[in-house]
Amino acid sequence: MFKTLAIALCLCSFQCNAYQLLSNEQAAEQQTKIAKENLDKAQEAYLTKYNECIEQSKNNILNPVDFKGIELNEKELKAIILYFSAKNYRACVGDLTDKYVTAINVARNFSVQKYSIKDDPESENSIYVGAPLAIDEIKYLPDYLQIDQSKREKLEKITKLKKVFDLSTSKNNLL
Question: What does DSSP assign to residue 147?
Answer: S
- Residues 96 and 135: their CA atoms lie apart, in Å, by 15
pTM: 0.77
Band (148; pLDDT cuts 50, 70, 90)? very high
Percent of the chain scoring above 90 in pLDDT: 64
Nearest-10 crossing angle of helices 132-145, 74-93: 150
Residue 129 has pLDDT above 80, yes or no: no
- Determine the length of the chain: 175
